Amino acid sequence: MKGRFTILTLMMAMFIMVSCDNNDSFDDGKLSEKQVPKAVLAEFEEKYPDATNVTWAKKYDSYAVASFTTSGQQTSGKDHTAWFEWGTGKWNMTEVEMPYSMIPEAVKTAFEASAYSKSPWVRDNEVDFLQRPDNTEALYVINVEKKESGVETEMELYYTAAGVLVKEIADVDKDNDYHDYLPQTPSDAINAWLSTNYPGARMVDMEREHNSTEIEFVCNGLKYEAVFDASNQWVYTKTDFGRNYASLVPEVVMTALTGKYSTSEWRVEDAEEFESAANHYFSFELERLQSAWDDEIDVYISVDGTFIERPQNPENPGGEGGNVPVAEDLLTFIQQQYSGAVVIGKEYDDGLLEIKISHNGLIKEVKFNGRNQWVKTEYDIYNYEDLPLAVRTTLEADKDFQKVKMEMEATETPSDTVYKIEIETARAEVQYTINAAGTLLHKEYDD
């Protein structure tokens, strides 16, 4: 009996091994060359005839991925990672590691003019170059990092060859394989809209979430984002003007802006144009120059030069939780943390994905890092009574506190909620920083 059981066990093991071999089993995704589809091998050999040190893997059940070096003049000895569609063999993307010295001058110029080229930021000497087909824009990814007050921050900066900064993403996973940047094909309707309105545009990225599609593209040196509904009908477009905003924004809008916010007192940190069937306005993020505090405000001006409140994005039929495409895990978090919230905007700010929501009558900015981890939520408070009782008790016990010219804001983090309250008295401006328990964390004067 024991001998028969052993023979049967061996036969079953051999059957399993043969079955697995026939089904192209993989060791942690690694492939032997004979397991790679012939269409992929043919495309690879045609595109990279000088490839050496080639290894293969299967990723996301859809791609054959080759890692190799080449003897080409520009990229000799550099690490390459090329992605091919498993079924068709079509090449989708190649990541090439190259030294900073090899990137285009336009990218160097743009980076070295940015704050990321200066202390405390430190640049990595290796740059990742993402080559992609058709009308999809190639990207140069520069990695920088800093350490302040014991906190380390890493940032990935995505530039086009012309030096347009299209993305800043903080604290991305160490093993980022750029899978999210594999090219996607917009619908025929979206392609037609793009060709008509922005001839020569090149795609940067595309997201499909909750019956909405968002495309990011570059055209004539500017970055754009456009959103379409479930029927592929245009909903709105946002234009990022970058450093050249003054020459691109209409004169009537610039006159209104500088007339109220003098350039000697305020600096424009960001300028954008927003256009839909219902709205056409410009958004400016301003920072006060002569202040001991981090004073920032958002200003909205219509195309005719009139100051306005921030309009809500137009309704996008079929969208869940709002009208802006938002990843499922992030939308779930927002719905759980802020019940009843409506998503009204999405953008990157200082490397964090900032999702603007309307919640309980307030506009809140919910921010996530490159790993889709919640970092913080910021919002202004307009009624003193909306501050927690513990915070009000601490304020009213302070000898300098008065209920005059108050500005209040809250910052929620996974560990605590902190409130900043600024008051302006006849003698001085005072800023309080108090946590939710009512502990005074900081008090500062700005005479």
**The predicted structure's pLDDT at residue 76:** 54
Task: Please give the chain's pLDDT, 447 residues, in tens.
Answer: 444 444 434 444 444 343 343 334 344 579 999 999 999 999 999 999 999 999 999 999 999 999 999 876 555 558 999 999 999 999 999 999 999 999 999 999 999 999 999 999 999 999 999 999 988 999 999 999 999 988 999 999 999 999 999 999 999 988 889 999 999 889 999 999 999 999 999 999 999 887 789 999 999 999 999 999 989 999 999 999 987 899 999 999 999 999 999 999 999 999 999 999 989 999 999 998 877 566 788 899 999 999 998 876 554 433 334 467 888 999 999 999 999 998 888 888 889 999 999 999 999 999 999 999 999 999 999 999 999 999 999 999 999 999 988 999 999 999 999 999 999 888 888 999 999 999 999 999 876
Q: Among 62, 2, 58, 51, which Cα is nearest to 35's? A: 58
User: Residue holding tokens 């490397």?
Assistant: 351
Q: 345: part of which helix (H) or strand (E)?
A: strand 342-349
DSSP 157-188: EEE-TT--EEEEEES--TT---GGGS--PPPH
Amino acid, res. 387? L
Q: Among 93, 107, 100, which Cα is nearest to 178's? A: 93
Q: Among 368, 312, 347, 370, which Cα is nearest to 225's? A: 347
Task: For 370, list phi and psi in degrees, rounded to 5.
Answer: -70, -10
Residues 6 or more apart from 312 whose CB is under 8 A from it? Answer: 342, 344, 358
- 175's tokens: 């093993």
Q: Among 397, 356, 395, 402, which Cα is nearest to 379's? A: 356
How far from chain centre, in Å, is Cα 320?
Answer: 20
Residues 6 or more apart from 239 whose CB is under 8 A from it? Answer: 222, 223, 224, 272, 273, 274, 275
pTM for the predicted model, two decimal places:
0.84
**The predicted structure's pLDDT at residue 134:** 83
**The predicted structure's pLDDT at residue 318:** 36
Burial 56-75 (b: 16+ CB within 10 A, else e): bbbeeeebbbbebbbeeeeb
**The predicted structure's pLDDT at residue 294:** 65
